[in-house]
A and B are shown apart, each in its own frame.
Chain A
Amino acid sequence: MNGIHDMGGMQGMGEIGYEENAPMFHADWEIRVQALHAASGSFRGGPLRPTVEQIPAAEYLRMSYYERWLTALIERLVQAGVVTREEIEQSRAARALEQTIAPVTPENAADWLLRTPQTERQTQVAARFAIDDRVRGRNIHPAGHTRMPRYTRLRTGNVERDRGVFALPDSEGDEPRLQHVYLVRFAARELWGETAHARDSVRIDMWEDYLEPA
């Protein structure tokens, strides 16, 4: 979706707030959100990122990073019927769940986090593009989740690498659509015009559906 999260290329976002040797988090609750996110994979009914992206723009900009994820986590769990807002308000469970779901245990928690996910699919799928092909970002505006930033639309680049076959994230929840992902190089001047540095470039992995021959 053309949401506020798709902010690559925007200006006027304020300070970066850079800190040298910045800590990984600033308050204990922040890493607790991260841990709850990790521990909720089996019962939250899907990835959180699409839900983060649905936070209304004004709210999104006001929230800190971990507030966004906490808001999305609660929203997701409410939508999945796992908790109610009243329960969270009361800090007490009002009713038991109908089905039991085995929680992540102290014994398997570290392994759970330190297992590298296998996102690449071994399925054979025909590749539409080859290395060095000229490609253009399609003029598409999916209403839901997508990994195609708007700054790549209608811009022309070169395929530098075939990443292999992955499920198109735009189809999350539906039957997975497996297709090749390509590393595409866009010249900075193609994206940002003549004031960009002639030598510079942006590289980004793009699913086949995001591209057309140029």
Chain B
Amino acid sequence: MAKSNSGSVDRRGFLKGATAGALAAASPATLHAQDHQDVPSDPALRVKALESVLVEKGLVDSAALDVLVDTFENRVGPRNGAQVVARAWVDPAYKQRLLDDGTAAMAEFGFSGWQGEKLTVVENTPTVHNVIVCTLCSCYPWPLLGLAPTWYKSDAYRARTVVDPRGVLRELGLQVSDEIEVRVWDSNAASRYLVLPERPEGTDSLSEEQLAALVSRDAMIGVAKVESTVDGDAP
């Protein structure tokens, strides 16, 4: 009860009982963590409750949410990015357009959407390895890679990738030689980034479609390389 003084409404603003409709938001400096028992603590229940209230108020249509979920799951994702990469491998003119203006080049495939603005594609070469991170949050090229995996948004990946990229890559299974320059891209502002991985050796006979099938999401973030095929397997 010690905190039940005149400042209590502001102090309790976050996570707990901010007064309904209080447009004057609590100043950030005074927000304090409190217990938050007045909304369901289980996030699944909280989401459901929030959705019900918003539907009742006519602000949200559940069927539209279903479409958004389906769009996130099926219309965007790393298969899009892989097609772009494979095209860049087989078509030098396309590759140049992709490096010059990623957003325009992905639009040639019909790929577009949120987090696709100012797409910057950075090319791995025998002497340069690129890796993408968003230290402040979770910026990520949705149209080409879909929603980011949990590890990309983990505090440890966000914190360490800028200061110890080689250590992070090693931990994720990618050893980068001392001779290679590592470029970290902190994707926090105007651009979203995609790594154009190196085309693996021994793939000359593969079609663009077969090449796309080799390209993993993690290679387009820059934490993995593209492998040709399992040793001994015919393509």
Contact = CB atoms under 8 A, between A and B. Distances in A.
A203 B60 contact: no
Interface stretch (B2-10, B89-97, B177-185, B201-209): B177-185
Contacts of A197: 166, 178, 182
A9 B157 CA distance: 10
B59 A199 contact: no
A149 B137 CA distance: 11
A80 B136 contact: no
Range, interface on chain A: 35 or more
A113 B77 CA distance: 13
B114 A117 contact: yes
A61 B158 CA distance: 13
Contacts of B148: 24
Nearest to B39: A88
Nearest to A56: B33
Point out which of A7, A8, A188, A192 has the most chain B C-beta atoms below 10 A from its C-beta.
Answer: A8
A141 interface: no
A105 B23 CA distance: 27
B172 A147 contact: no
Interface in A1-57: 1, 5-11, 13-29, 31-36, 38-40, 43, 49, 52, 54-56
A116 B155 contact: no
B68 A38 contact: yes
Nearest to A185: B183
Nearest to A61: B155
Contacts of A108: 64
A81 interface: yes
